[in-house]
Amino acid sequence: MIITLKKSTPQVEIDRLTEQFENFGVKVQYLEGRDYKLMGLAGDTTHFYESDIKANEWVVNVQRIAAPYKLANRMFHPEDTIVEVGNIRIGAGQPVAIIAGPCAVESEEGVCRIAEEVKKAGAAMLRGGAYKPRTSPYSFQGMKTAGVLALEEAGRRNGLPIVSELMSVDKLDEFAEHVDLVQIGARNMQNFDLLKAVGSINKPVLLKRGLSATIEEWIMSAEYIMAAGNPNVILCERGIRTFERMTRNTLDLAVIPIIREKTHLPIIIDPSHATGDWKLIEPISLAAIAAGADGLIIEVHDHPEQALSDGAQSLKPEKFAELIRKGRLVAQAIGREL
Ligand code: PEP
Ligand code: MN
C-alpha cells in the first residue's frame, strides 16, 4: 500500500502514522519526494481500509497494491478449489455442471415432473426457490418449508443434489438439513450477517453477484463466508444493472477469466436472470461454456406460460435438452466434459 502525504506533513505526524502501522505488523518505508512525501507499507494490509487512512488531513492519496482479500486470493492458494455437492464436483477441469429447474417450487408434483425432465436431459443438479425475493410483495413469495421439502423429494427421486435460495438467518438450520447447495441471491450478496451465517455451516454456498456489485465487492463477500470458516464457495454471475433495457440485466462474461485469475473458486453463469428471455438462453449458455464457465444454472419449466415466477426466461424441457446437446459439443471443442 502506498500513502501519499502532503509535503508539509510534520515529522511528528509521520512518526505517529509509522508507529500506528507498525503496531499492525507491517513494515513502513518512507520516501521524501519533490512535491509529496510517500509511505510504503509492506506486509499484510488487509486490515487497513483506504478511506479510514484518507480521513487523516495530511493524506492526499492511498493506493492499494495487494488485493483486500486473502482466503479467496489465487496468489495465496494457487490450486483450483473444487467444490463437491453430493456426487458432483464443480470447478476448473471438472465436467461443466448444469443446474436446472424451475425458478420457484410451485407444487411437489410440478417440481418432480420438471426434475425428471432435466435429469433425462443430462442436468447434474436441481434448482428451485422456496423463499422468493420478489420485487412486489403481491407476487408469489414461494412455498417456504413445504417448497424445500418438495424440492428435496424431487431431488431424491431423481438422484439430483438440490440448490435453493436462503433469504434469512432464521432458516439456516432448515437449509443445513435439507439443501445440498445453499444459494445466496443477488439481493443478499452484501447481507453480511447472512454471509457469516452460511460461513458457519458445513454446506457449500452458491454466491450470486449483486445487482450492482463490482467484481471486488463480490469476491469480498466470498471472503466473508470463507473467513467465517466455510471454504466451499461457488461464484455465480447473473448479470448486472446497466442502462440497457433489451435484456433484464447485462451479462458480464469477462468475469470468467477474471475470477479465474483473481481467485481459485469455481465460477458459474446464470443466463436466465442475466437475459430474462428464453430465446437468449441457448446462445449465451454456449458462449459461457466456450469462455470456460464451470457450470450453468438455468430455469426450466414445463409450462412457462403458467409459471408463478420468471416464465418468460424459462426454457421448456425440449429446448433445455437441445441446449445440453449443443453444450456438449462446445465443451468438447475446448477439451472439457459436460
Ligand atoms: C433465482 O435464482 O431465482 C434468483 C432470484 O436469482 P438472483 O438472486 O440472481 O436474482
Ligand atoms: Mn428466477
pLDDT beyond 90 at 90: yes
Ligand in nearest proximity to the CA of 181:
1
pTM for this model (two decimals): 0.96
Nearest CA residue ID for atom 4, ligand 1: 185
The response to whether residue 91 sits with its C-beta less than 6 Å from ligand 1 reads no
Percentage with pLDDT > 70 across the chain: 100
pLDDT beyond 90 at 184: yes
Closest to 126 (Cα-Cα) out of 118, 136, 138: 118
Cell of 335: 477439451
Q: For ligand 1, what atom is nearest to the CA of residue 310?
A: 3
> Where do runs of H (alpha helix) occur along 50-164?
50-54, 108-121, 145-158
The response to whether residue 186 sits with its C-beta less than 6 Å from ligand 1 reads yes
Question: How far does residue 299's CA lie from ligand 2's centre (Å)?
Answer: 7
The response to whether residue 3 sits with its C-beta less than 6 Å from ligand 1 reads no
Q: Max alpha carbon distance in the chain (Å)?
A: 75
Q: How confident is the model at residue 47 (pLDDT cuts 50, 70, 90)?
A: confident
Quick one: pLDDT at residue 196?
A: 98
Q: How far apart are CA 247 and CA 206, in angstroms?
A: 23
Q: Which of 179, 270, 297 to mutate to test the pocket of ligand 1 (most atoms within 8 A of CB)?
A: 270
Q: How confident is the model at residue 57 (pLDDT cuts 50, 70, 90)?
A: very high
